[in-house]
């Protein structure tokens, strides 16, 4: 049985170079970065060099990069501190954000009695930009807009510069979950006026358990986790030096190879779409994921023409054939609940049909696509 991993939007295989970097740090830079002796200073130096390298890739100051345990913590840090410390009384978001945002906003509404508004979308999940501007015009308190750069389920790409300009014009803060975008798209955060951004290493062939928050200077916040003075006093706790070094290595390599790897993965997605359309003509792509120009090149989300009585065990059957994919966010893959993203976009009948997300990386091949499409075709035609 062939083993095919097509769930790279959930997590990615680590690069060998990243593993090598992290192993070296674990062996030789095991000192506590808060210590004053040489082993501690070398760990501290590694952290700061990683911070500078990441900041340079985004064209920001190194003081604006705060290392976290991943994207979820970075989202929480931005949203909670914006409400608690920066006087935000109203958050505008969408109903297809990651739960790291939606559940945090829901909690903040209960804890601080803030107002929450949801921007309208069309049936493809495209944000109504004029509707967002209308919402901003109607708010007379401090507001924050939180919209993800690349949707993790349907791959839609936000016009981030347009949103940033709207927020700046209305004196609103702007937070974006960029977990699915960092390492895949160039971002100049001097040009694009984002106040807060979240990223995670394991989405770009780095280690799990580490990410960062970008916090634009002059947004003066207090820590969520109290303790020591690590991370400019904004994130207490002994730093995971090997993970931070792994994040920096993964991100540096992603941008060094961005052009060639983008071209390769995009060719895989293009081949997958054409192969599916050829072999399974009644397939429907959810959101904009079937559009190579308007969605990320890393994933597709498609609705298959399968009878309801066969759809319940569909993912299990794929797993038996060695195929790893998902019905949506990895965070809900163990749940029987339907995707909250697709629930906003599809009618009840379409929700009963299996929608599957396939996401690609540099480690995938066209032969794997042929195998997967063949399995899909056989199952549908049984």
Other CB atoms within 10 A of residue 7 CB: 20
Domain range annotation of the chain: 4-12+258-381, 16-256
Please tell me if the domain spanning 4-12+258-381 has the same topology as the one spanning 16-256: no
- Identify which has the larger pLDDT, 196 or 329: 196
Query: Is residue 15 within 8 Å of 253, Cβ to Cβ?
Result: yes
* pLDDT score of 103: 98
How many alpha carbons fall within 13 Å on the CB side of residue 257? 14
pLDDT at 296 over 70: yes
* pLDDT score of 63: 97
Q: What is the pLDDT of residues 297-354, one digit of tens each?
A: 999 999 999 877 777 788 888 999 999 999 865 554 445 578 999 999 999 989 988 9
Q: What is the pLDDT of residues 235-289, one digit of tens each?
A: 999 999 999 999 999 999 999 999 999 999 999 999 999 999 999 999 999 999 9
* pLDDT score of 328: 66
Q: Which CATH architecture has domain 4-12+258-381?
A: Alpha-Beta Complex (3.90)
3-state helix, strand, coil in the chain (%, to 5): 45, 15, 40
Query: Is residue 364 within 8 Å of 6, Cβ to Cβ?
Result: yes
Which CATH code fits 16-256? 3.40.640.10
pLDDT at 180 over 70: yes
Catalytic residue among 81, 167, 325, 331: 331
Measured at the CA of 301, the angle between CA 288 and CA 133, to 5 degrees, comes to 35
Q: What is the pLDDT of residues 56-67, one digit of tens each?
A: 999 999 999 999
| Closest listed residue to residue 154, CA positions, set 98, 73, 74 | 98
Q: How many helices (H) and strands (E) does the chain have?
A: 13, 12
What average pLDDT does the segment 213-232 reach? 94
Q: What is the pTM of this model?
A: 0.95
325 part of the active site: no
Q: What is the pLDDT of residues 6-50, one digit of tens each?
A: 999 999 999 999 999 999 999 999 999 999 999 999 999 999 999
């Amino acid at each position: 049985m062939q083993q095919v991993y097509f769930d790279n939007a959930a997590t990615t295989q680590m690069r060998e170079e990243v593993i090598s970097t992290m192993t070296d740090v674990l062996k030789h830079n095991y000192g506590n970065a808060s210590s004053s002796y040489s082993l501690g200073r070398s760990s501290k130096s590694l952290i700061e060099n990683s911070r500078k390298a990441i900041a340079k890739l985004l064209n920001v100051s190194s003081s604006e990069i705060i290392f976290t345990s991943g994207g979820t913590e970075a989202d929480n840090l931005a949203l909670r501190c914006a409400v608690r410390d920066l006087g935000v009384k109203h958050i505008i978001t969408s109903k297809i954000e990651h739960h790291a945002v939606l559940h945090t906003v829901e909690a903040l509404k209960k804890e601080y009695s803030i107002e929450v508004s949801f921007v309208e979308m069309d049936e493809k999940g495209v944000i109504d930009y004029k509707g967002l501007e209308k919402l901003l015009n109607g708010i007379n308190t401090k507001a924050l807009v939180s919209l993800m750069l690349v949707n993790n389920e349907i791959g839609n790409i936000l016009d981030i510069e347009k949103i940033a300009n709207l927020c700046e014009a209305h004196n609103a803060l702007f937070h974006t979950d960029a977990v699915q975008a960092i390492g895949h798209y160039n971002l100049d955060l001097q040009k694009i006026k984002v106040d807060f951004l979240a990223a995670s290493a394991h989405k770009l062939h780095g280690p799990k358990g580490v990410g960062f928050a970008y916090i634009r200077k002059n947004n003066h916040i207090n820590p969520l986790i109290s303790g020591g003075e690590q991370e400019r006093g904004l994130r207490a706790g002994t730093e995971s030096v090997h993970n931070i070094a792994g994040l920096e290595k993964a991100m540096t390599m992603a941008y060094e190879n961005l052009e060639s790897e983008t071209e390769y993965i995009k060719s895989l997605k293009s081949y997958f779409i054409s192969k599916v359309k050829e072999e399974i003509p009644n397939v429907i792509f959810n959101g904009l994921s079937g559009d190579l120009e308007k969605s990320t090149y890393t994933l597709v989300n498609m609705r298959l023409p399968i009878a309801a009585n066969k759809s319940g065990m569909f993912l299990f059957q794929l797993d038996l054939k060695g195929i790893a994919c998902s019905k949506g966010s990895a965070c809900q893959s163990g749940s029987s609940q339907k995707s909250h993203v697709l629930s906003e976009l599809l009618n009840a009948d379409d929700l009963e049909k299996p929608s599957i997300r396939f996401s690609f990386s540099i480690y995938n091949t066209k032969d794997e696509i042929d195998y997967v499409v063949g399995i899909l075709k056989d199952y549908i035609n049984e």
